[in-house]
Structure 1
Amino acid sequence: MNIMLITAVIASLFLVIGAAEPLAARLRLPYSVILALVGMLIGAGAIFFLRTDLTDALNPIAEAILGLPIRSNVFLYVFLPTLLFQATLGMNLRRMLDDWVPILVLAVVAVVVATLGVGYSLAWASTLPLAACFLIGAIVSTTDPSAVVSIFRSISAPRRLARIIEGESLLNDAAAIALFGLFMGFVMLGVSDPTLTDALRQFPLLIAGGAIAGWFAARASVWIMSNFVHHERAQISVSVALPYLVYIGAEQLIGASGVIAVVTAGLTMNLSGPRRLSPQTWANLGEVWDLLAHWAGALIFILAALLIPRLLEEVRSEDVILVGVVIVAAVTARAVILFGLLPLLTALRLSPVVERPYRTAILWGGLRGAVTLALALAVTESTRVPIEVKRVVGILATGFTLFTLLVQGTTLRAVIRWLGLDRLSPIDEALSRQVVAVALQTVREDVERTTENYELTREIVRSEAKHFAERLDSAVQATEDGGDILDRDRITLGLIALAGHERDTVLDRMRERTISQRMAEQVLSDADRLIEGARSGGRNGYQRAARQSVAYGQGFKIGVALQRRLHLSAPLARMTADRFELLLSQRLILRDLDAFIDRRIRRLHGRRVADLLHDLLARRVEAVETALEGLRLQYPGYAEKLERRFIRRTALRLEEREYTNMREDGLIGAEVYTSIMQRLNMQRAASEKRPSLDIAIQRLELIQRFPLFVGMDDAALKQLGRALKTVYVNSGELIVGKDDPAQSVYFIASGAVELESAGQTWRRGGGEMFGQMAILTKKAVRAQVRAIAPSTLLVLDAERFRRLLARRPAIQQAIRASAKERNIDPEALIADEQQPSKQSE
């Protein structure tokens, strides 16, 4: 075939793709519906001109259109990996995790139920083999997200609804294609009545093999991309190769699901990529994949639609009845899951509530599309599938797809409106009115300043000011008529806005390289938790998320256990270093939020809400400072190293800005700028390396760290080491309570503690001691002692401590200093303790 003609046809299809989007917006129809209609018209027109005697002038074009190499492999190996990979890269995984139960139920359970429901219904209504019926069920069980999500994003529909459908559509492609491959094998092998045991035995192998392959491939790709740090196009090229290679490798080399492999690879890169790649590279990578997915999605739809007229050429009257059976069975199976299983899981507290309007929209929004047509095309191309089965599969899949697109797709917007999902909630509606009023007030002030600066004609200014004042009065009146927002809701909205600005600030600092990519990902995760906490629990939810952001997690407890029992210190050292850097990053971000409260939130929600947010922010700053102080006391030298590293990175960022400004002002040329930036990048690479933290210290080494024990001979140190008991405590753990009997003295080998007594607090770090005063004064403990960092304590009982005190002048000196700090007579204290010791001697 003439290559120039094919190229012209493909280029023309891109013109169609470009025109379809504005046409869909004008007609208020889903973009995919427009593409399907245009594709069917082009396909039908090509067939018509080839068979008509009216003219032969358009025959070459018609032949080129019908002769395009449209095969199922093109859809499955070229377009599908692109769509799946881009969808996983663009997913907000943290938000989707809130609804992971309904998403998995719809993506896996609903697919299996639809496959079985459609299969058994067709087996009852037709003479097709059961394996072929299940094959049709698998083909029609996958939904297409593009049409539904585009509608939800174009109106004020809840974003949670779009997330559920998007997550379902992404994952159910994997489940449906895995089932398709399974039953396609049965049909080609001539197994007419496969048992569910046969299917279920192979299904986990397809899933697990694909997941493992995708994870390994993505981890390797991210590692390669991180080593190409100064070659952005090379990094993006590696990302483009990943989905295709992992899809083909999983399918052809290990016999697993290529779809599962691509989805897993995309999810893995979504989680690890932002930490290993620069923000600019990650943003550019996302833009490239968005464009690739847009083209792939449009081409797969329009090319599949070209085949619809040919697939329906041999339709019979009984086929129409079977299409109806498929429609009823598929919709019923989906309704059983949505209105039967999901409410049951919610009642058992296994799933969050999915409101009835949401479930209705999800039911009607189960549109089928290009993937269904591509799978049907794969069946019609196979030479090992019986001819009658190929004909019926093509007709039923095409008929059902057309029903969902032309009936459900064109009415979905109306259904959403009927359900009231396009309207804002009362609190959002009230907020929108107030936002408009505040914005118009700000605009009016800016316009007044502008008119003064430009000395515009007074009549024009007066006329426009009157018109603008009417708009402002109307907005204010709408706010008053619509009712005010409750203070509780204002606080919630203010906290959401504050957490959102915190997230934006993190991104800005990451782009400036003030915060490392590794820590930025963690701080972003904390900001997302703050947003979700404020949305779900208001002030209390925000405070819980804030406490969680500075708390020691289970990982630290495991790290402490590994160090204590197995002497493996590397995990705990890495987590401690991460925590150091994380707290420094959080402190940097929190410092910038007070201005946002005064500049934006105070004007929108009032002084009382702003003051409350300032108070909550001050508590967060105090919590971060306390946690940092604990680490500084625990590892003073390491804290200094990290802060020096932060200063160096900040200085390099400012230096880079100066060179860029000089380049833009023409003070230096491109050659000089390039040379300077190369040297600067080398310095930045050196500053990115985090100093190491060594926490692996044995007991004898711990004892030797204390100034009190300096000068003791080895025999005395060993004897003391046998007397001292090592105790490990986690952050927040109570060590000594008020009114406890004085039984032991505690030496802080590593970590930090806080002593609280009579409304005063003291903090002690490594190399210091506590508990000695209660023993010397022979009174009950008056101070409460709590760990503020994971700490290692050396504990000495009271009797041994008294003997040690009598023998060691250095310890007596330390006791005198500590007593003087607490306004206790140190000489009387020491003398009182030495007297019984001398008598005993």
Structure 2
Amino acid sequence: MDIVLITAVIASLFLVIGVAEPLAARLRLPYSVILAILGSFIGTAAIFFLRTDLTDALNPVAEAIIGLPIRSNVFLYVFLPTLLFQATLGMNLRRMLDDWVPILVLAVVAVVVATFSVGYALSWTSALPLAACFLIGAIVSTTDPSAVVSIFRSISAPRRLARIIEGESLLNDAAAIALFGLFMGFVMLGFPDPELGDALARFPVLIAGGALTGWLSARAAIWVMALFGRHERALISVSVALPYLAYIVAEQSIGASGVIAVVAAGLTLNLAGPGRLPPAAWVNLREVWDLLAHWAGALIFILAALLIPRLLEEVRLGDFVLIGVVIVAATVARAVILFGLLPLLTALRLSPAVDRPYRAAILWGGLRGAVTLALALAVTESFRVPVEVKRVVGILATGYTLFTLLVQGTTLRTVIGWLGLDRLSALDEAMSRQVVAVALQTVREDVARTTEAYALTHDIVRKEAKVFGERLDEAVRTAEDSRDILDRDRITLGLIALAGFERDTILARVRERTISARMADQILSDADRLIEGARAGGRNGYQRAARRTVIYGRGFRTAVMLHNRLGLSTPLVRMTADRFERLLSQRLILRDVNAFIDSRIRRIHGRRVAELLHELLDRRLETVETALEGLRLQYPGYAEELERRFIRRTALRLEEREYNAMREDGLIGSEVHTALMQDLAARRTSEEARPHLDIAVRRADLVRQFPPFADLDDAALRRLGRVLRTRYVNADTVIVRKGTPARHVYFIASGALELESAGQKWRLGRGDMCGQMGILMKQPRRVEVRAIAPSMLLVLDVARFRALLSRSSALQDAVRASARHRGIDPDLLLMDLAPAASA
């Protein structure tokens, strides 16, 4: 075929892609539906012009369209890795972990249920072998939720709903294609009908092999990309190669799932990339992948749509019955998951609640698309599949895809409106009226200052002021009609606005590079949780989300266990350093947010709401300060290093601003500016590295570092090291309760403890001890001791402590100092101390 003609056809397809998006917006239809309609029309027109005698002038164009090398391997090896890889790069994985249960249920369980539901339904209503029926089930079980996601975004649906659907769109392709490969093997090899157990037994092998391949490929690529840190184009080029190589190696060399390999590679790069690559390079890399995925997604859809007329050429009357069976079975299977399994998991507190209207929208929005057509094409191309099976697979997959696009897709927006998801709640409606009134008041003040500054004609000002005043009066009257909003709801709205401003402030700090790129995702995830917590649970939801930002999670406890039992310190070092930087960034952001309450929220919701928000924010700041102080006591000096790093990064940002201003004012030329910016970039790269955090804990070294043991000889230190018991406690663990008998003394090897007695609090850190007063005073404890940071304690029982105290003058001095600090006569504590045996 003439290369010029092929180039012209492909260029024309890009023109169609460019026209489709604004056309979809004007017709208020999903983008994928418009592409499918245009592609089907082009394919039908090409066949028509080839077979008609009306004209031969368009025959070369029609032949070029029909002769395009559209094969299933083009879809699976060229377009699909691009779409999957970009989807993983664009995800907020930490936020998706909050909804991992509904995402996995929809993406994996729903796919498996749909596969077997459609398979058994077809086996009962057709003469197809069971393996072929399962193959059709796997082909039609993968959804293309891009349409419903775009509509949800256009109506400002909750982010959480869009996040669940995006997670499903990524993982259900992987699950469906893995099942497709499994049953395709049964069909091509002529196996007898597969047993359910045999099919599911092979499924984990495909998943595990693909995941391992993707992870190893991504780790190798990240290592290479880190070497190319100053060469952005080279770095992006390596990222382009990564998904394709991972896919090919998994499919051709290992026999695992290439889709899973691409997903694993993308997830690995998403998590590790921001911390290893320059921030600007990471941003540009994602922009390149966004553009590639847009083109790939449009091309895969329109090229697959070109095949629809050919796939339906041999349709028979009885095939429509089977298409109806597929529609009913797939819809019922998805409904069972959405309205049966998900509510059950919510009742068991295994999954967050998904409201019924949203579940209905997800059900109707389960459109099928290009992936379904590509898998069907792969079956029709195989010479090892029986001819009748190929015909039925092509027709059923295409028919079901057309039903979802032309029936569900075109009515999806109507269904969303019928469910009421496109309307603001009464609370949001009232909020919008309040915001408009305050905004217009601010605008009127600014306009008045502008007219005064420019000495505008009074007649013009008077006329415009009258028009604007009428609009303002109407807005104020409308807002006053909403004064029946409960204070509770005003607080909720204020918290949502406050969390939104916090998120905007974080983004600004990331752009200014005062917050490192590796921490940006975590801190932004915290802000998103605050928004969703306030929206779902008001003040209590906001406070729960705020507490979650400072607590130690399961991952941290696992890292501590690995450190203590296996000596693997790297995860604990990384997570502790992340916590340091995260808390420090939170403290800086919260100080910026405080002014927003007085400047905006007070004007919208009044003084009482503003005062309450100030109180909530002060509590958050106090909690962050307490957590940060605990880490300071645990690792002295490290927080100061991070603060100095923040100051240096701020200085670099201000220096960059000055250079840009000088360049714009013509004070320096482009050559000087380029040299200065290159030097600035090199220094900024060096500041990305965090200071080293040493968390090594060795009992012998710890014993020597305590001042009370300073006068013991080596033999005594070794004996003491053998009798001291090591105890690790998490933050918020109560170590000593009031009123309990004193049985142990605790020496703080690392961490921080808070002591409370008679309403007073004080804190102890590394090298301090507690519990000795209760032993020496022979009274129940009057102090409660609580860990405010993960702490490693060395514990000594009563007998050994008294014996050690009788021999160590340094320990006696420490006890005396502690007694004086609490207003107790130290001589009364030590007067009855009898000589004892050695420790």
Q: Give the TM-score, by structure 2 length.
A: 0.91
Q: Tell me the residue number matched to 2:476.
A: 476
My pick for the range that moved more, 478-487 or 406-415, is 478-487
Q: Tell me the residue number matched to 1:452.
A: 452
Q: Tell me the residue number matched to 1:144.
A: 144
Q: What are the Cα deviations for residues 492-542 of structure 1, in whole angstroms up to 9, with x where unaligned?
A: 232233233333333333333323333333333333333333333322232
CA shift at 1:261, angstroms? Answer: 1.9
Looking at structure 2, the residues matched to 635 and 170 of structure 1 have their Cα atoms a distance apart, in angstroms, of: 41
CA shift at 1:620, angstroms? Answer: 2.0
Q: Tell me the residue number matched to 1:358.
A: 358
| Alignment map for 1:49-68 (pairs within 5 Å) | 49-68=49-68
My pick for the range that moved more, 807-816 or 294-303, is 807-816
Looking at structure 2, the residues matched to 560 and 177 of structure 1 have their Cα atoms a distance apart, in angstroms, of: 39
Code of the aligned partner of 1:368:
R
CA pair 575-8 structure 1, distance change in 2 beyond 3 A? closer
Q: Tell me the residue number matched to 1:101.
A: 101
Q: Tell me the residue number matched to 1:303.
A: 303
Q: Tell me the residue number matched to 2:542.
A: 542
1:705 aligns to 2:690 (yes or no): no
CA pair 756-140 structure 1, distance change in 2 beyond 3 A? closer
Q: Tell me the residue number matched to 2:649.
A: 649
Code of the aligned partner of 2:305:
A
Maintained 8 Å contact 2:85/2:263: yes
Q: Tell me the residue number matched to 2:273.
A: 273
Maintained 8 Å contact 1:499/1:530: yes
Q: Tell me the residue number matched to 1:427.
A: 427
1:331 aligns to 2:335 (yes or no): no
Code of the aligned partner of 1:317:
L
My pick for the range that moved more, 487-496 or 675-684, is 675-684
CA pair 473-187 structure 1, distance change in 2 beyond 3 A? same
Q: Tell me the residue number matched to 2:377.
A: 377
| Alignment map for 1:455-534 (pairs within 5 Å) | 455-482=455-482, 484-534=484-534
Q: Tell me the residue number matched to 1:670.
A: 670
Q: Tell me the residue number matched to 1:88.
A: 88
My pick for the range that moved more, 98-107 or 42-51, is 98-107
Q: Tell me the residue number matched to 1:767.
A: 767
Looking at structure 2, the residues matched to 671 and 284 of structure 1 have their Cα atoms a distance apart, in angstroms, of: 24
My pick for the range that moved more, 588-597 or 713-722, is 713-722
Looking at structure 1, the residues matched to 163 and 760 of structure 2 have their Cα atoms a distance apart, in angstroms, of: 50
CA pair 670-107 structure 1, distance change in 2 beyond 3 A? same
1:12 aligns to 2:12 (yes or no): yes
My pick for the range that moved more, 736-745 or 514-523, is 736-745
Looking at structure 1, the residues matched to 87 and 571 of structure 2 have their Cα atoms a distance apart, in angstroms, of: 34
Q: What are the Cα deviations for residues 380-399 of structure 1, in whole angstroms up to 9, with x where unaligned?
A: 22222233332332222222
CA shift at 1:592, angstroms? Answer: 1.3
Looking at structure 1, the residues matched to 194 and 811 of structure 2 have their Cα atoms a distance apart, in angstroms, of: 83
CA pair 670-740 structure 1, distance change in 2 beyond 3 A? same
Maintained 8 Å contact 2:339/2:359: yes
Q: Matched residue pairs, number?
A: 836
Q: Tell me the residue number matched to 1:74.
A: 74
1:629 aligns to 2:634 (yes or no): no
Where does structure 1 lack aligned partners over 5 or more consecutive residues?
Answer: none
Maintained 8 Å contact 2:102/2:351: yes
Where does structure 2 lack aligned partners over 5 or more consecutive residues?
Answer: none
Maintained 8 Å contact 1:746/1:770: yes
Maintained 8 Å contact 2:723/2:796: yes
Q: Tell me the residue number matched to 2:193.
A: 193
CA pair 596-275 structure 1, distance change in 2 beyond 3 A? farther
Looking at structure 2, the residues matched to 508 and 526 of structure 1 have their Cα atoms a distance apart, in angstroms, of: 16
Q: Tell me the residue number matched to 1:166.
A: 166
CA shift at 1:408, angstroms? Answer: 1.8
Looking at structure 2, the residues matched to 561 and 405 of structure 1 have their Cα atoms a distance apart, in angstroms, of: 51
Q: Tell me the residue number matched to 2:611.
A: 611
Looking at structure 1, the residues matched to 349 and 564 of structure 2 have their Cα atoms a distance apart, in angstroms, of: 38
Maintained 8 Å contact 1:633/1:764: yes
Code of the aligned partner of 1:4:
V
Code of the aligned partner of 2:123:
A
CA pair 805-53 structure 1, distance change in 2 beyond 3 A? closer
Looking at structure 2, the residues matched to 759 and 196 of structure 1 have their Cα atoms a distance apart, in angstroms, of: 65
Q: Give the TM-score, by structure 1 length.
A: 0.91
| Alignment map for 1:531-610 (pairs within 5 Å) | 531-558=531-558, 560-561=560-561, 572-610=572-610
CA shift at 1:18, angstroms? Answer: 1.0
1:368 aligns to 2:368 (yes or no): yes
SS in 2 for 1:550: coil
Looking at structure 2, the residues matched to 717 and 506 of structure 1 have their Cα atoms a distance apart, in angstroms, of: 50
Looking at structure 2, the residues matched to 689 and 588 of structure 1 have their Cα atoms a distance apart, in angstroms, of: 20
CA shift at 1:482, angstroms? Answer: 4.7
CA shift at 1:330, angstroms? Answer: 2.8
Q: Tell me the residue number matched to 1:180.
A: 180
CA shift at 1:724, angstroms? Answer: 5.4
Q: Tell me the residue number matched to 2:789.
A: 789
Q: What are the Cα deviations for residues 139-186 of structure 1, in whole angstroms up to 9, with x where unaligned?
A: 222222222222222224444443333333332222222222223223
Q: Tell me the residue number matched to 2:416.
A: 416
Maintained 8 Å contact 2:376/2:393: yes
Looking at structure 1, the residues matched to 318 and 726 of structure 2 have their Cα atoms a distance apart, in angstroms, of: 83
Maintained 8 Å contact 2:712/2:808: no
SS in 2 for 1:144: coil
Maintained 8 Å contact 2:711/2:808: no
| Alignment map for 1:330-349 (pairs within 5 Å) | 330-349=330-349
CA pair 165-652 structure 1, distance change in 2 beyond 3 A? closer
Q: What are the Cα deviations for residues 209-246 of structure 1, in whole angstroms up to 9, with x where unaligned?
A: 22222222223323333332222222222222222222
Code of the aligned partner of 2:60:
P
CA shift at 1:713, angstroms? Answer: 3.9
SS in 2 for 1:541: helix
Q: Tell me the residue number matched to 2:227.
A: 227
Q: Tell me the residue number matched to 1:127.
A: 127
Maintained 8 Å contact 2:364/2:408: yes
Maintained 8 Å contact 2:711/2:810: no
CA shift at 1:62, angstroms? Answer: 1.8
Q: Tell me the residue number matched to 2:210.
A: 210
CA shift at 1:594, angstroms? Answer: 0.8
Code of the aligned partner of 2:272:
S
CA pair 346-490 structure 1, distance change in 2 beyond 3 A? same
My pick for the range that moved more, 5-14 or 757-766, is 757-766
Looking at structure 1, the residues matched to 421 and 367 of structure 2 have their Cα atoms a distance apart, in angstroms, of: 18
Q: What are the Cα deviations for residues 544-594 of structure 1, in whole angstroms up to 9, with x where unaligned?
A: 333332233445545555555566655544444443333322222222111
CA shift at 1:655, angstroms? Answer: 3.0
Maintained 8 Å contact 1:752/1:788: yes
CA shift at 1:376, angstroms? Answer: 1.9
Q: What are the Cα deviations for residues 106-138 of structure 1, in whole angstroms up to 9, with x where unaligned?
A: 323333333333333333433333333332232
Looking at structure 2, the residues matched to 67 and 419 of structure 1 have their Cα atoms a distance apart, in angstroms, of: 45
Looking at structure 1, the residues matched to 158 and 776 of structure 2 have their Cα atoms a distance apart, in angstroms, of: 66
Q: Tell me the residue number matched to 1:318.
A: 318
CA pair 656-323 structure 1, distance change in 2 beyond 3 A? same
Identical counterparts, % of pairs? 78
Code of the aligned partner of 2:335:
A
Looking at structure 1, the residues matched to 799 and 334 of structure 2 have their Cα atoms a distance apart, in angstroms, of: 75
CA pair 384-751 structure 1, distance change in 2 beyond 3 A? closer
Maintained 8 Å contact 2:379/2:393: yes
Code of the aligned partner of 1:758:
A
Code of the aligned partner of 1:68:
L
Looking at structure 2, the residues matched to 133 and 830 of structure 1 have their Cα atoms a distance apart, in angstroms, of: 85
SS in 2 for 1:786: strand
CA pair 583-91 structure 1, distance change in 2 beyond 3 A? closer
Q: What are the Cα deviations for residues 251-302 of structure 1, in whole angstroms up to 9, with x where unaligned?
A: 1111112222222222333333333334433332222222212211211222
CA shift at 1:8, angstroms? Answer: 1.2
Looking at structure 1, the residues matched to 109 and 575 of structure 2 have their Cα atoms a distance apart, in angstroms, of: 39
Looking at structure 2, the residues matched to 449 and 63 of structure 1 have their Cα atoms a distance apart, in angstroms, of: 68
Looking at structure 1, the residues matched to 673 and 493 of structure 2 have their Cα atoms a distance apart, in angstroms, of: 46
SS in 2 for 1:420: coil
SS in 1 for 2:313: coil
Looking at structure 2, the residues matched to 71 and 553 of structure 1 have their Cα atoms a distance apart, in angstroms, of: 48
Maintained 8 Å contact 2:95/2:525: no
My pick for the range that moved more, 400-409 or 104-113, is 104-113
CA pair 381-610 structure 1, distance change in 2 beyond 3 A? same
Looking at structure 1, the residues matched to 492 and 22 of structure 2 have their Cα atoms a distance apart, in angstroms, of: 38
CA pair 452-710 structure 1, distance change in 2 beyond 3 A? same
Looking at structure 2, the residues matched to 368 and 155 of structure 1 have their Cα atoms a distance apart, in angstroms, of: 22
